Amino acid sequence: MALRSLSVQSKLLLAFTLLTLLGIAMVSYTAYTTARASLLTSIERQLVGLQRSKAGIVRSILTSTKNEVLALSGSDGLSQVVPDLTAAYRQLSREQVTPEMRDAVRAFYTREFEPALAARTRLAPAKDAFLPTTDTGWYLHYHYMVNGGHPYGQRRRLESSTDKSAFAAALVRARNVLGPSLDRLGLDNVVLVDPESLEVIFSYDQSTIFGTTLDSGPYSGSGVATLARALRRSQDEDDYKFTDFESFRPALGQPRAFIASPVFVGPDLVAIMILRFPIEPIAQALSNNGGWEAEGLGKTGQAYLVGPDMTMRVDSRFLVEDRANFLETLGHSRLTARTIDEVRRLGTTILTVPIAHDGARAAFNGASGFIETEDYRGKDVFTAYGPVDLDSLRWALLTKIDRSEAMAPLHALGRRILAVGVALSLLASLLALALASIITRPIAELVRAAREVSAGNLETRVQVNAHDEFRALGEAFNEMVHNLGASRIALDAQVQTNERLLLSLLPASGAAQVRGGSDAPKSFADVTVAYARLSGFDSLSRDFGEDQSMTLLSDIVAAFDEAAEQHGVEKVRTIGSSYLAASGLSVDRPDHTARVVEFAREAARIVRRFNAERGTALTLEAGINTGPIVAGLVGRRKFIYDLWGDTVRLARDIERQGVGTIVVTRAVYDRVRESVPFDAPRMVDIRGLGAIELYPVAGDAA
């Protein structure tokens, strides 16, 4: 009882539980958002810093590689062996190439090289597409491909068990001179190209490019050929060129990049040295020699390069760590089945896996930044990006980590906050449970009663047993419902009165416009209009007086209204002794023309009866037309409903011609001539329209 006597304010003071829950939520939210912002800032700083550091390392490696290549191309050992090697190579044109040697070379390509290339690249070359184009090429391929002493595709030194020419000795000397330098500099295979003929006169490792001409041979479209053509007229011993990665066919489709430099003996350009670009040092630097976690990249972080064709330039960390799992993950990504198959066959992500997100594209425009995007595995990642440039070569260097791993500490914090919040919430809920029941009971009763009132039940009442403000609220509610009931009765009566008045003044379409609050005119495609005028009221006013004549006019109009309602015709308006009616406005009637004609005939009969009963001499003249009209309200506060258009104007004009009591246009005549008698048509001049054929209605209505 004491609790019921408390004020609402006192009860609200007891609702501290809600404030407690709100406080818990606010503190939890603030802690979570602050931690999230801090973590995102830390992730961005780490990835951006690592990206810039790795970019500097890559630039250093590229510069170092360039310097090493220039040092090798300008070395004394190379300048000593190239002249002898070139001379011996040119003497090979004198060596005999037998049909058996050619058959053996063809067999090598058909049985060994082309099947191996097709297995890796799905390449279906044209017949004899890779065969040499010179006798020297046939000779060298026979001795060094067919009789190389080991299966093609294994990294082995170029050697032959059958070549006894002077060139074989020169090749061995060149290999012995270049071998230690390549090992010392950590460089891969090197080829030497004759700048005059662009023939490949030397290859340290076995390669089908050896002995071919890069000007028109099977590899004239390769990056090696591009470099050779670019440097064949070089006049600078420190000149060099890079070419980006391509699927190199002599390497059975493996991705290869190349760097080239001219070789001079004195002022003479004697060879073009081309080396496979060593990507391994860059890959080791980017992966920290496989120590990704030691650099803070966790289980999913990686630094990698992207080329201008938007594909990777180093192998993915996930391919290196677990190839089977990586391929399975790619199967759930957006990569095509063809791309995944290429990764599986070639065993590399270089040139095979596309990196097409906004960060990579921005890096090629010279921008650096940090974004959240989807990586090539279909995982959401945080990525820092930026360009790596060396002369004409531009790559994008990206560092990334999976969003799930980066945000794992935040998720753990969120779970702890949630657990504490749930525990405190349960405690606060238990304390507030009893009080909430008492406070909400009268509110629930008011809600129930309000819903019944909303549903239209104005007989409902609330019962509130409390002795506080809720009791006063309940009593006020009951009084309000009582007053609403009385007001609704009065309002319904007024609405009915207004509706009757509106329908008596306007057609149904006009009344609908008033109810809808619209004053915009409305177009009707096909409406029949009757414009009727009573003549003889001047003499009627003299004989009966003004008051009685107006009474007689009112009686006739009332009779017209009744006839219109019977025939489904709407009265539009009356002005003096004129009467405008239409059919097809509010209700779409297929026989609206016939209805209007019958209404006009009935109106004529009404006038005849009226003359007979009252002793008057009134006459009715009516014009009927059918067609499109525009209808709407005229005026703002005091308005009328009116019709416009040529259809209405023509009905009014033909009524004034004195052709007959009821006159119709040809459009009306065509619709009702089977059911309504007509006199012979007459031609009448209508101002603005010229000669119009009109049809007087015959019979009783005439």
- Give the DSSP letter string of 55-81: HHHHHHHHHHHHHHHHHHHT-HHHHHH
> Around 410, how many Cα atoms within 13 Å sit in the side-chain half-sphere?
20
Over residues 666-694, mean pLDDT: 86
What integer pLDDT is reported at residue 210 of this predicted model? 93
Contact 286, 58 (CB under 8 A): yes
C-alpha 278/C-alpha 260 separation (Å) is 12
- Angle value at C-alpha 660, between 619 and 662, nearest 5 degrees: 80
Portion of the chain with pLDDT greater than 90, in percent: 31
579-614 pLDDT, tens digit each: 999 988 878 888 889 999 999 999 889 989 988 888
pTM: 0.59
Q: Which residues are CB-contacts of 471 (< 8 A; sequence separation ≥ 6)?
A: 464
Top-confidence residue, 228 or 1: 228
15-66 pLDDT, tens digit each: 566 777 787 778 878 888 888 888 899 999 999 999 999 999 999 988 888 8
Does residue 229 surpass a pLDDT of 70?
yes
CATH 3.20.20.70 fits 74-278, yes or no: no
pLDDT band at 403 (very low <50, low <70, confident <90, very high): very high
pLDDT band at 701 (very low <50, low <70, confident <90, very high): very low
Contact 69, 273 (CB under 8 A): yes
What integer pLDDT is reported at residue 103 of this predicted model? 93
Highest mean pLDDT among 2-16, 170-184, 537-551: 170-184
C-alpha 402/C-alpha 407 separation (Å) is 9
Strand partners of residue 290 = none
pLDDT band at 4 (very low <50, low <70, confident <90, very high): low
> Around 327, how many Cα atoms within 13 Å sit in the side-chain half-sphere?
14
What integer pLDDT is reported at residue 77 of this predicted model? 83
Instruction: Give the CA distances from residue 334 to residues 353, 375, 379, in Å, rounded to whole numbers and listed in that order.
Output: 11, 10, 10
Q: Do domains 74-278 and 514-701 have the same CATH topology?
A: no
Contact 699, 600 (CB under 8 A): no
Over residues 364-382, mean pLDDT: 92
Q: Determine whether 13 is exposed, middle or buried from the number of CB atoms within 10 Å of its CB (0-12, 13-18, 19+).
A: exposed
Pairing relationship of beta strands 690-696 and 682-686 according to DSSP bridges: antiparallel
C-alpha 398/C-alpha 383 separation (Å) is 7
What integer pLDDT is reported at residue 41 of this predicted model? 92
Lookup: tokens for 413: 């914090």
Does residue 445 surpass a pLDDT of 90?
no
For 514-701, CATH number out of 3.30.413.10, 3.40.50.720, 3.30.365.10, 3.30.70.1230 equals 3.30.70.1230
Amino acid (1-letter code) at residue 573? R
Q: Residue 260 belongs to what H/E stretch?
A: strand 254-265
Domain boundaries, the chain: 74-278, 514-701
611-655 pLDDT, tens digit each: 888 888 888 889 999 999 988 777 666 667 778 888 888 888 887
Does residue 551 surpass a pLDDT of 90?
no
pLDDT band at 254 (very low <50, low <70, confident <90, very high): confident
Portion of the chain with pLDDT greater than 70, in percent: 84
Contact 273, 260 (CB under 8 A): yes
C-alpha 39/C-alpha 42 separation (Å) is 5
Lookup: tokens for 16: 């501290």
The mean predicted confidence, pLDDT, of the chain is 83
Over residues 227-239, mean pLDDT: 91
Does residue 401 surpass a pLDDT of 80?
yes
What integer pLDDT is reported at residue 201 of this predicted model? 95
C-alpha 580/C-alpha 600 separation (Å) is 11
Pairing relationship of beta strands 522-535 and 578-583 according to DSSP bridges: antiparallel
pLDDT band at 446 (very low <50, low <70, confident <90, very high): low
483-520 pLDDT, tens digit each: 776 767 766 666 565 555 554 545 655 555 555 555 67
Over residues 438-458, mean pLDDT: 69
pLDDT band at 198 (very low <50, low <70, confident <90, very high): very high
What integer pLDDT is reported at residue 64 of this predicted model? 87
113-152 pLDDT, tens digit each: 988 888 887 666 777 888 999 999 999 999 999 998 778 8
The structure tokens 């539009």 sit at 572
What is the four-CA torsion angle of 499, 501, 507, 512, rounded to 10 degrees?
A: -30
Does residue 302 surpass a pLDDT of 90?
yes
What integer pLDDT is reported at residue 129 of this predicted model? 86
What integer pLDDT is reported at residue 6 of this predicted model? 58
